[in-house]
């Protein structure tokens, strides 16, 4: 008779550094989801009712992140994951405190720029650290675990943020700064300091064009372009979807809140199970299914006649992202050269940054010119076309051995 896994066995099945990232991801995601839905409204009030300036200030975050992410990935390859992760969290902590005390457009803009730089520096180093310490066959599962941690913030953050904003606006930013400071302290005190494997980094003069000389980087860049439809879909949820729902549902704010909460809870409950159930399948197959699901999501968002259909649509969305996130990160970790994992994840990180910067603007133009139905039909077409391209890109990798073999000294834990 097969023994049921114990809690202790489950905890010991991953490296301690994984649980450090899990705990920190819960803290940082609470921070992000407490603030993100209300930041534009806060800036709107602080600037005397201006509309354009708050939007421009929040756009500074992803724009600064595009440049910073590339350098951050390179720095983590050269000097280790831990120093870059700590510096990035300190920048984000200062930015949250900056929002609380800032007065005037310039100071709000500086706080947004710091936040964008800090966020972009962190993720490539964190993803590369997981690739350093986790066996290839277990990586999708670990990335799924971290995605589950992220959704604790998605499920709880908006309601907590709304409550605190109604009580005292500045408390939200100070609480966010406290959470990020705690994560910084956790990394500094508990995470070991070991250089990444073969830590040489990419020449700082390297550019996107020069990356095309390497087959691995070329595939990663093309996969980054394939991510853009998904990034644009995420961007619409934060920007144009509320306006589209307003034309179909009288209580559209409650509907949107319900969809976001339903998504977060679904991922928390099912993400790890789905990762384990699909571990034996190739990333190519799982990502193809995910993009078909996302194409269905765009139809649901565009034409759902009732709340029940919208909830079924959100279930498709949740399933798609539970398949996509862990498997695309696993694919990048296998394509990336061992000595340039931070740089590789930084390349792929351009997709989310560009989507956050351009997605609301492009979606807003389509919504204004032709309406939400056309907007989501365009996105559906993009998923179908790009999904096929992505499948072709991963076909050689699916049929061959991974391009890099991990060779870490026994008993070491890269930072």
pLDDT tens sequence across 344-394: 888 898 898 899 888 888 888 898 899 999 999 999 999 999 999 999 999
Q: What is the pLDDT of residue 404?
A: 44
Q: What is the pLDDT of residue 401?
A: 42
pLDDT at 261 over 60: yes
Q: What is the pLDDT of residue 30?
A: 86
pLDDT band at residue 313 under the 50/70/90 scheme: very high
Q: What is the pLDDT of residue 332?
A: 93
Lowest mean pLDDT among 90-94, 206-210, 353-357: 206-210
**Which residues does 70 contact at the CB level (< 8 Å), separation at least 6?**
343, 346, 347, 350
Lowest mean pLDDT among 66-70, 218-222, 227-231, 396-400: 396-400
What's the pTM value of the predicted model, to 2 decimals? 0.78
**66-93 burial: b if 16+ Cβ within 10 Å, else e:** bebbbbbbbbbbbbbbbbbbbbbbbbbb
pLDDT at 403 over 50: no
Nearest CA among 360, 358, 322, 346 for reference residue 119: 346
Nearest CA among 280, 278, 357 for reference residue 320: 278
> Higher confidence at residue 384 or residue 71?
384
CA 302 vs. chain centroid, Å, equals: 24
pLDDT at 217 over 50: yes
Instruction: Report how far residue 182's alpha carbon sits from residue 93's, in angstroms, rounded to the nearest whole number.
Output: 10
pLDDT at 397 over 50: no
> Higher confidence at residue 57 or residue 83?
83
> Higher confidence at residue 408 or residue 99?
99
Instruction: Report how far residue 206's alpha carbon sits from residue 372's, in angstroms, rounded to the nearest whole number.
Output: 40
**Mean pLDDT value across residues 186-209:** 62
**Mean pLDDT value across residues 39-59:** 72
pLDDT at 204 over 50: no
Q: What is the pLDDT of residue 360?
A: 82
Instruction: Report how far residue 125's alpha carbon sits from residue 131's, in angstroms, rounded to the nearest whole number.
Output: 10
Mean residue pLDDT of the chain comes to 82
> Higher confidence at residue 36 or residue 395?
395
Instruction: Report how far residue 317's alpha carbon sits from residue 170's, in angstroms, rounded to the nearest whole number.
Output: 33
353-to-119, 155, 182, 387, 395 alpha-carbon distances in Å: 10, 23, 26, 20, 26
**Mean pLDDT value across residues 293-309:** 96
pLDDT at 212 over 80: no
Q: Dihedral of CA 225/353/145/160: which sign?
A: negative
**Which residues does 185 contact at the CB level (< 8 Å), separation at least 6?**
none
**Which residues does 138 contact at the CB level (< 8 Å), separation at least 6?**
none
Lowest mean pLDDT among 162-166, 269-273, 372-376: 162-166
pLDDT at 151 over 80: yes
pLDDT tens sequence across 328-339: 998 998 898 887
pLDDT at 398 over 60: no
**Mean pLDDT value across residues 131-153:** 87
pLDDT at 408 over 70: no
């Amino acid at each position: 008779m097969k023994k049921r896994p114990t809690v202790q066995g489950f905890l010991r099945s991953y490296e301690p550094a994984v649980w450090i990232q899990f705990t920190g991801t819960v803290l940082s995601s609470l921070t992000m989801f407490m603030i993100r839905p209300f930041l534009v409204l806060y800036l709107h009030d602080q600037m005397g009712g201006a509309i354009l300036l708050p939007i421009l200030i929040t756009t500074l975050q992803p724009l600064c992140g595009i440049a910073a992410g590339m350098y951050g990935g390179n720095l983590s390859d050269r000097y280790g994951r831990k120093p870059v992760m700590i510096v990035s969290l300190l920048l984000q902590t200062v930015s949250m405190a900056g929002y609380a005390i800032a007065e005037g457009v310039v100071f709000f803009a500086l706080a947004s720029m710091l936040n964008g730089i800090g966020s972009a520096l962190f993720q490539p180093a964190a993803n590369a650290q997981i690739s350093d310490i986790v066996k290839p066959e277990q990586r999708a599962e670990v990335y799924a675990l971290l995605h589950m941690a992220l959704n604790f913030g998605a499920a709880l953050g908006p309601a907590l943020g709304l409550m605190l904003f109604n009580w005292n606006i500045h408390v939200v930013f100070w609480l966010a700064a406290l959470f990020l400071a705690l994560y910084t302290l956790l990394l500094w005190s508990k995470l070991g300091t070991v250089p990444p494997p073969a830590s040489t980094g990419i020449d700082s003069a390297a550019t996107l064009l020069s990356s095309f000389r390497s087959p691995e980087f070329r595939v990663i860049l093309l996969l980054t372009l394939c991510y853009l439809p998904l990034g644009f879909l995420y961007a619409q949820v934060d920007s144009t979807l509320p306006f589209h729902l307003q034309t179909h549902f009288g209580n559209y704010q409650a509907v949107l809140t319900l969809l976001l909460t339903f998504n977060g809870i679904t991922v928390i409950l099912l993400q790890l199970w789905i990762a384990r159930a699909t571990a034996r399948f190739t990333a190519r197959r799982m990502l193809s299914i995910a993009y078909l699901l996302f194409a269905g999501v765009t139809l649901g968002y565009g034409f759902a006649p009732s709340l029940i259909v919208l909830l079924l649509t959100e279930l498709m969305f949740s399933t798609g992202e539970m398949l996509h996130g862990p498997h695309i990160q696993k694919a990048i970790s296998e394509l990336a050269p061992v000595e340039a994992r931070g740089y590789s994840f930084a390349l792929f990180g351009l997709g989310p940054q560009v989507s956050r910067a351009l997605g609301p603007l492009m979606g807003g133009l389509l919504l204004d010119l032709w309406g939400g139905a056309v907007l989501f039909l365009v996105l559906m077409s993009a998923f179908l076309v790009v999904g096929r391209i992505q499948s072709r890109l991963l076909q050689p990798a699916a049929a061959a051995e991974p391009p890099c073999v991990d060779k870490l000294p026994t008993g070491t834990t890269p930072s």
